[in-house]
Each structure stands twice: as C-alpha cells, then as structure tokens.
Structure 1
C-alpha cells in the first residue's frame, strides 16, 4: 500500500510557526527553571555559612544576597512603611518595613520586620510593637522585597505609607537617611513583644511549575508538526483516490 502526501504551503507555514513558538517558549520556561535551580543551590550554600556581622560601610547587594547577617542598632520607629498585597496562607496582609540605624554610625538598613493582617477598614494601619533601645537583629539579605502589580497611583513615601512596591533608594530620598541598597529580611524576634509572622516566601519556588509549562509548550510544537503530517497524508490519500 502506497501513501501519498499532499504538501500545502499555508498549513506548512502555520505548523512551522506554532512549532517555533512552542520551542522558543518551552526553552524560555526551561531556562527559568534552571535559573531558579541555580538560585536554590546558592541559597542553600549561603544559608550554611555562619552569620555575617553587618557593619555601617555601604555595600553592594549582589555579594551579600541570601547571606545570613547579624546587625546591632535600633529601629527608627517614626518611619514605618507597609507593603500591601502580601497574603499569607490565604489571608490578606502587609509587610512591615522599618529603617534600622546601625550602631555607631549614621548608616541605616531597611528591615522587613514581618507580616501583619490587613484591617477590615482599608487604609487603617494594623497595630504592632517596636522594640525600643539597642537590639541585635538576625536576618537574611535580600535585594528586593518582591514586586507586585501596582494598582493606581502609589502613595507618596512618608511615615505610615501603604505602598505596593519599595526600593531602598526611594526611601533614602524621601527620608534623608543613609541606607544600604538592600533589605534585611528579619528571621527571629528582636525582643519581647516582637511577634510578627515571618513565614517568608522562597524566591526560588516554582521550579516544577516552569518545567510543567515547558513540557506543555514542547508538546504544542510536536502536535503542530504531527497534525501537519497526518492531515497531509490524509489529504494526499483522498486526492489520489
């Protein structure tokens, strides 16, 4: 039995475009998975290192990112900031961010102190306690507090502002404080009453999701070529008969 194949230009172009699209997007998702795997390995390696004493000298974020650090000083209680749209275990909430003056200097670092539940009345600030006097913090250096979609115009940076996203440079300009160009994600209480939730999300999460998406895009590319071949043989057989 002989098979006949009918080549048609438009279906061939459509199949080729779909196949290329599937391969390109599949490679992109696979690349994202590999990036996050490398990030996960770097996090694990730096988490195994002993805590680093964070001093007042300004330092770049990249060499310190994901390092455990200890820093002594005191909170600038008059400059609390709140990051909105930060849910925890399905509950709406905010991250409390506060400048921390490093002991023996005028240098500060922004501390992600923890999570607070959002109040029923929008714009109403939740209650929280701030340790007074000199304390020693333990945490992890992160270059970003995470990015969420900004809805509407962001409020001007001022004490008590609720914002969607935050950068140390913007806080430095608004507060006139000398700030390190990164955040310290607090991991343990700094004193009595410092009981904020600190179940921080892992930036390397989602590796399996990216691999699943990559498989779907590769499958689309394969199906486009397979569909073109099958319909070509069917059309050729009908034409021959």
Structure 2
C-alpha cells in the first residue's frame, strides 16, 4: 500500500471517529438542555403550587408537562402496581403505584405513593400490607402533588408485567391500562406531596435513577475531547517527517 493510500485511509478513519464522537457530544449537550428545562419547569410549578383539578392528569394538551394538582377521592380497592429496581438514598427497592378515583367522577389516575424496601428478594415484592393498601382504602382522602410524565420505560425487553402479577420490570402505560381495565393509558402520574401523611418514602425529584444535567455536560466534553484527539493524531501522522 502506497504512502498516499495509507494517508487517505487514515483520514477516512479519523473523520469517521470524529463524526461519531461529535454526534455523541451534541446529543449529550441536547440532553443537558432538556433536563435543565425540565428542572426549571418543575421549580416554577413548585414555587407557585396553583392547584389544578385531578382530571388534568388526562388532558392531552398537557401531556409531557408539569402541574400541581389537588382533589379528593378514594384509592381503588385493587392490588398495587410495583415497579422493580428503584434506587432511593443508594438503596435498591420498589416504587408503589395505585389507582385513585376522584370524587368528581373523573377517570381514575395513577398515584406514585413512593419507595419501599424489598422484603422478599425471591418474589421481588414489598410487604403484604403495602400490596393490600392497608390504611389507604378505608376512607376518602384529600391528595395533592405534582402531575408529571410517567417514568421512562427504557429498553423494552420482554413483557413489562408478568402474567397474573402487578410487578413491573419497567413502566409500561399500556400494560397498566390493560391490567387495570382503564379506557386509556395514563398520560401523567400524580407524585404525592411528601408532606402528606400517606404512602412511603418519597420526594419530588423528577430525575431519579437517571443522569443530572451536569453529568451530560461532562460526557459531552469527553466526546468532544476524543474527536479533537482523533484530529490531532491524524494531523501528526500526516505531517510528521518519515525516518530515513
């Protein structure tokens, strides 16, 4: 292979590497901006706390947005939906969801009751009283909290819900609607105000189990640095003097 052919092949490889690294860096920057905008929107909602009715959870024009909502009703007397592999304060556990029927007669909405530790690592289920909803299903209650988009479903590998079970390996709105007999998948989830004496350990962090904006920025810098390194390496190999 001639020196010219070698240089051309080297530049093709270098440009390919630079293109991939630059694209990944740009994607990380876009994710950083998306998450910063998300946090700013949530901060604005939490600062105002202008309560919308619970029926706003089903408003198609607000899908993907954040709102503060409040209302009265009852938790539906049915087993909880349990999301596996959830981290809280560096501890693995489960996130508990229940359907809530507003007193206004609006369609039921899904309520995030918070995080609970594993009791049985074999079945991956919480304590029996959590599943049964003891203390939640007896009387009408007033709820309030942050209406937020459902958590990301991630990679869809296999069914989200095991047959005959409400243990979820990932959040799948369609599977929840089918199991609960809902007319439509939940557009948003009510994340309960941590000040309410209901549910389990919780907060209003909208980025649990995922990367914060600063992490995305750090990864973007790394990808751009690799693209620059590929360019410098190609230049050095191209213009260096060959040995005699």
Match of 1:198 among 199, 202, 207: 202
The offset of 1:232, in angstroms, is 2.2
After the TM superposition, which residues 130-145 of structure 1 pair with which residues of structure 2 at under 5 Å, given as runs? 130-131=135-136, 132-145=138-151
Measure the CA separation in 2 of the matches of 1:21 and 1:177: 43
RMSD: 2.7
Matches within 5 A, 1:150-229: 153-156=159-162, 161-177=166-182, 181-188=187-194, 190-191=196-197, 194=198, 196-203=200-207, 206-229=212-235
TM-score by length of 2: 0.81
CA contact (8 A) 1:64 1:141 kept: no
Is residue 56–residue 105 contact of structure 1 (8 Å, CA) maintained in 2?
A: no
TM-score by length of 1: 0.82
Return the index of the structure with the highest Cα Rg: 1
Q: 1:154 to 1:167 in 2, by over 3 A?
A: closer
Match of 1:12 in 2: 11
Task: Using the TM superposition, give the Cα deviation of residue 153 of structure 1 relative to its aligned residue in structure 2, in angstroms.
Answer: 4.2
TM superposition outliers: structure 1 runs of 4+ over 6 Å: none
1:83-162 correspondence runs (5 A): 83-105=83-105, 107-123=107-123, 124-126=125-127, 127-128=129-130, 129-131=134-136, 132-148=138-154, 153-156=159-162, 161-162=166-167
Residue 69 (structure 1) aligned with residue 73 (structure 2)? no
Q: CA deviation at 1:173?
A: 2.9
How far residue 237 of structure 1 moved from its aligned partner, in angstroms, is 4.6
Q: Matched residues in 2 for 1:175 and 1:60: separation?
A: 20
Q: Which has the higher helix share?
A: 2
- Structure 1 residues without counterparts, runs of 5 or longer: 1-5
Matches of 1:231 and 1:64, distance apart in 2: 50
User: Which secondary structure does the structure 2 equivalent of 1:87 belong to?
Assistant: strand
